[in-house]
């Protein structure tokens, strides 16, 4: 682990000992009685994740990782002198209305002091205004649209943002693949997809590339043959598809098997491609293509090795995706912020979270003035329906 996590845990325990010695007050609002001990020792942390719906694998792996992180932290003494972190999860069914409803429920009924999630930008943009108004810190592990943290000063993230991710892949197309022309396919209903499409276009054209087709579809579409034919006829060197796995998998399958794209045309994606379902939908049609991501299990770092060992031991040898890695990092960021604050009061956590810095599974995380991490991206190549680490791109 491991040095960084050992240091983090030591800090957590040290803070706890100090608060215990000073007779730290309850942060839970306990009113006494037989349940006082349980209330004092538990800090409620909310979670809003898609456990069902279009991007369910994102939520499932995120929740697994946070549960793992909280179990580790609680097993080593918890926070603030022995208080246990209690994770209360709400399923937003992958949609915006349920994200807002979940935020209301966690804040007003469960009295959480902070929220982890959601994982998609549109869903985060639905929940974030509610958290901001209630002054409850909300930390999204993976939402990458810049607008998410622009909602207000109680909104944070653990992932890099789309202007960086989109630029990474535009530069990769130009410099690594030698592309001169590109086509763009975006989801008109997705803030994530639209934002990445705009960044890629800006960077690609600013460095001499030409966009020969720019088409869009709607969330929930399953037939892409017509717009794929338009894209194929434009003869691009690369096709940028910044959508989630449930759509990208269908697009790649239809591009190869229905529309007859030449294998010389390289499809590129972003972190939304990272799911086993992608390969169930696309099969070998995804081989030879690339996408940007937040981490790779192939990266040789003590943090990645420690996380892999713990996650696979708990979840029957399952390989964690980038969603799990970022959720795990977000859980440790929040725990470190609570310790740094010396309190579980939401305002104190917010102030501490703005200054927190850890070395996690996805690299070094230090937030800028906009509460966005400045961190590296990795490029993944798909070979034989498996993810293979290709390169790392620094900010």
What is the chain's pLDDT, residue by residue, as a tens digit (395 residues)?
A: 444 443 444 444 343 333 333 333 334 333 334 444 445 589 999 999 999 999 999 999 999 999 999 999 999 999 999 999 999 999 999 999 999 999 999 999 999 999 999 998 999 999 999 999 999 999 999 998 999 999 999 999 999 998 999 999 999 999 999 999 999 999 999 989 999 999 999 999 999 999 999 999 998 999 999 999 999 999 999 999 999 999 999 999 999 999 999 989 999 999 999 999 999 999 999 999 999 999 999 988 999 999 999 999 999 999 999 999 999 999 999 999 999 999 999 999 999 999 999 999 999 898 999 999 988 899 999 999 999 999 988 77
The pLDDT value given to residue 30:
36
Q: Which of 73, 78, 75 is nearest to 17 (CA)?
A: 78
Angle between the 302-314 and 56-75 helix axes, to the nearest 10 degrees? 100
CB burial of residue 10 (10 Å; 0-12, 13-18, 19+): exposed
Q: Which of 235, 137, 150 is nearest to 195 (CA)?
A: 150
Q: What is the pLDDT of residues 325-382, one digit of tens each?
A: 999 999 999 999 999 999 999 999 999 999 999 999 999 898 999 999 988 899 999 9
Q: Which of 199, 143, 193 is nearest to 330 (CA)?
A: 143
CB burial of residue 88 (10 Å; 0-12, 13-18, 19+): middle
Report how far residue 213's alpha carbon sits from residue 165's, in angstroms, rounded to the nearest whole number.
21
The pLDDT value given to residue 393:
86
Q: What's the distance, CA 173 to chain centroid?
A: 23
The pLDDT value given to residue 246:
93
Q: Which of 347, 369, 365 is nearest to 137 (CA)?
A: 347
Q: Which residues 6+ apart lie within 8 Å of 317 measured at CB? A: none
Assessment of whether the complete model's pTM goes beyond 0.85: no
């Amino acid at each position: 682990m491991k040095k960084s996590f050992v240091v983090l845990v030591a800090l957590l325990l040290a803070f706890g000992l100090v608060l215990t010695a000073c007779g730290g007050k309850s942060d839970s609002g306990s009113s006494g009685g037989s349940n006082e001990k349980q209330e004092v020792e538990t800090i409620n942390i909310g979670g809003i994740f898609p456990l069902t719906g279009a991007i369910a694998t994102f939520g499932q792996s995120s929740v697994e990782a946070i549960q793992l992180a909280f179990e580790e932290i609680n097993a080593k003494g918890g926070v603030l002198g022995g208080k246990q972190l209690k994770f209360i999860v709400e399923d937003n069914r992958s949609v915006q209305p349920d994200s807002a409803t979940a935020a209301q429920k966690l804040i007003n009924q469960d009295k959480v002091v902070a929220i982890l999630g959601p994982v998609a930008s549109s869903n985060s943009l639905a929940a974030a205004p509610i958290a901001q108004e209630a002054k409850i810190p909300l930390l999204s592990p993976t939402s990458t649209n810049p607008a998410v943290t622009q909602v207000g000063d109680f909104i944070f993230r653990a992932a890099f943002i789309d202007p960086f991710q989109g630029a990474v892949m535009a530069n990769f197309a130009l410099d690594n693949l030698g592309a001169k022309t590109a086509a763009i396919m975006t989801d008109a209903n997705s803030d994530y997809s639209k934002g990445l499409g705009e960044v890629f276009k800006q960077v690609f054209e600013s460095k001499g590339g030409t966009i020969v087709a720019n088409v869009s579809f709607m969330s929930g579409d399953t037939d892409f043959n017509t717009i794929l034919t338009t894209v194929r006829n434009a003869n691009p060197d690369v096709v940028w598809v910044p959508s989630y796995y449930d759509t990208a998998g269908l697009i790649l399958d239809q591009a190869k098997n229905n529309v007859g794209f030449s294998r010389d045309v390289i499809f590129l994606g972003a972190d939304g491609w990272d799911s086993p379902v992608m390969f169930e939908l696309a099969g070998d049609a995804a081989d030879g293509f690339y996408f940007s991501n937040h981490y790779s299990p192939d990266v040789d770092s003590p943090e990645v090795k420690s996380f892999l060992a713990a996650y696979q031991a708990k979840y029957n040898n399952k390989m964690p995706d980038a969603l799990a890695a970022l959720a795990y990092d977000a859980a440790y960021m929040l725990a470190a912020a609570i310790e740094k604050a010396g309190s579980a009061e939401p305002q104190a956590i917010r102030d501490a979270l703005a200054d927190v810095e850890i070395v996690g599974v996805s690299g070094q995380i230090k937030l800028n003035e906009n509460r966005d991490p400045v961190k590296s991206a990795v490029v993944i190549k798909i070979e034989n329906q498996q993810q293979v680490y290709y390169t790392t791109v620094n900010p």
